[in-house]
Amino acid sequence: MKIKLRKQVIDILKVLKEKKSEYIASELAKELDIDYIVLMSAINDLKETNLGGFKEKEVFQISLNKEGELYLNKGLPERQLLDILLSNDLTEKNMEDLQGATSLDKKLFYIGISNIKKNGWGVESKAPGEHKLLLIKEVFPQTDVELFLKKFEKNDKIDYSDLSEDDLIQFNILNKRKLIKQTRKTQRSLFLTEKGKKTKLNEIEMLKQVSKITPEMLNSGSWMDYDLKPFDVTKPGPLLKAGKIHPMVNLINEIREIFISLGFTEIRGPIIESAFFNFDALFQPQDHPARELHDTFYLNNPKVSKLPEKDRVKAVKETHENGGTSGSLGWGYKWEESIAKKTLLRTHTTATTIRRLAQYYKNNEVPPIKVFSIDRVFRNEKVDKSHLAEFTQIEGIVIGEKVTLCDLIGVITEFYKKIGFEKVITRPGFFPYTEPSMEVSVFYDKLGEWLEMGGSGIFRPEVTYPWGIENPTRVLAWGLGLERLAMLKFGREDIRDLYINPIKWLRQESY
């Protein structure tokens, strides 16, 4: 039966046949410009067909260390010193001044002196009043150590077993001078068996090359008769179009994790909300322009919503009319329950955090309370590249004793830092339900601009007193835009892309 081999194996066999004697694997790999592993796998094929194999042996190698290499380039310290002494005519100088005059490093200088004496090039004379280095030779040929050092010019590593007896003496000197590094490695040498040497190339059949193995080949077992072409792992693979999580969902989850890591709990509230929680409980007067139809989607079905306990409704009513217990004068108008009962699509998730205040009152809870919500809100806006009629707010409150504006800035800044915006600025703003109020902006590196992200503030007493939250317990609050943040994070210029789902973007952004 004909021997079948892969093309690559045949190529290597050819080279080994030409070489005749044993060959060191790493050198052959270099010579053929192939990977060592590829070469060894080919040798394995030769081994299986009894044509060749490899032997292993441990080799000690020596090379120069950093200092040794330096001396290889610049000369040993004694040679460096000697050259300076001769070329600058310093042989008559007193030892005390000599080092400074040669401007050699102190350590190098003294190693030089000691070896000049060892080499018999000079002696130290110590007559009264003088201390000199006297050179006692006329010529200074290369020493044996220097000649040995030169061997490293050609190969940076030398096999220990290649050293002659004389070499060993010089090696020991350099080793004692701490200029040598020793390494051990396993060396593989390749050989052909008698069969390998005798077999002619035309007696060998080349396996057919294929680029993939099919199920049929696996079934029939014929895959063994094929040579799988090597893969080029640097080539890009086919695009994987697997199902993925939507980038917005990923972003929301990331935000969730940040608030949870800061000790917050997530809350959710109804999308169909009462005007009471959306506006009245936020001390927005019933004739406030923001309540008007062009901003708010009012609903016909259900037409009226349920209000909380009578006494709480009364507390809100009195706050509007005369300030109630909050210490404020209120708005001074007659508050209508029917307006508060209107149903609408919530215009902000602040309605949800107010519901949390109501729960706090009902359950007689104690501070601190830290909650957040990431949820959908609705406004009657004309949709364009920077506006949507339904969008998402990242809302949150902290109910705490003696909490301050600094705490509020701290939470907001920390949040944006964690999501990837280092620079956050808060500026005075206005909301009917907070005092003081702040607008929040982040710095967007790509545009070099500050972009407004949302609002925040400390709820006014008119908002918190109806729920039993009285000074010095205060409520820090914020409502930030999710889509704005998403546009910056994903580099989208059209806000609608986030929900129209351009497939190309989803493929590159999702994971």
Least Å from the CB of residue 508 to ligand PHE: 32
Touching ligand PHE, residues 461-490 (CB under 6 A): 477-479
* Assigned token pair, 275: 């005007």
Report whether 243 contacts 382 (CB < 8 A). Answer: no
DSSP, residue by residue, 368-404? -EEEEEEEEEE-----BTTB-SEEEEEEEEEEEET--
Tell me which residues in 349-368 interact with ligand PHE (CB under 6 A). 350
Interface of this chain with ligand PHE, residues 412 to 441, rule: CB under 6 A:
431, 434
Q: How far is the CB of 455 from ligand PHE (least distance, A)?
A: 3
Nearest CB to ligand PHE, comparing residues 95 and 419: 419
Q: If 0-12 CB within 10 Å is exposed, 13-18 middle and 19+ buried, where does residue 244 land?
A: middle
8 A C-beta contact, residue 483 and residue 459: no
The stretch near ligand PHE (CB under 6 A) out of 27-35, 125-133, 334-342, 451-459 is 451-459
DSSP run (H or E) holding 365: none
Quick one: 321 or 390, whose CB is closer to ligand PHE? 390
Of the ranges 36-44, 112-120, 271-279, 448-456, which one interacts with ligand PHE (CB under 6 A)? 448-456
Which 3 state secondary structure label does DSSP give 272?
strand
Q: Which of residues 54-113 bind ligand PHE (CB under 6 A)?
A: none
Q: Look up residue 357 and give its two tokens.
A: 């205040």
* Neighbouring residues of 79: CB distance < 8 A, sequence distance ≥ 6: 146
Which residues are within 8 A (CB) of 304 and not within 5 positions of it... i.e. 6 or more apart?
Answer: 341, 342, 343
Distance CA 319, CA 464 (A): 10
Tokens for 481, please give them.
């835009």
Nearer of residues 13 and 377 to ligand PHE, judged by Cβ: 377
Residue type at 162? Answer: D
Minimum CB separation from ligand PHE for residue 377, in Å? 7
Site string (130-169) toward ligand PHE, x via CB under 6 A = ----------------------------------------
Binds ligand PHE by CB under 6 A, chosen from 5, 456, 486, 487: 456
- Interaction between residue 348 and ligand PHE (CB under 6 A): yes
Given a contact cutoff of 8 angstroms between Cβ atoms, the answer to whether 223 and 22 are in contact is no
From candidates 269, 455, 461, 466, binder to ligand PHE by CB under 6 A: 455
CB 403 → ligand PHE: shortest distance, Å?
14
Q: Output the smallest distance, CB 322 to ligand PHE, in A.
A: 24
Give the residue with the Cβ less far from ligand PHE, 54 or 465: 465
Binding residues for ligand PHE, how many (CB under 6 A)? 11
Only segment of 116-124, 202-210, 314-322, 450-458 that touches ligand PHE (CB under 6 A): 450-458
Number of other CB atoms surrounding residue 425 within 10 Å: 14
Quote the CA–CA distance of 19 and 22 in Å, as a whole number.
8
Query: Residue numbers of the site for ligand PHE (CB under 6 A)?
Result: 348, 350, 431, 434, 454-457, 477-479
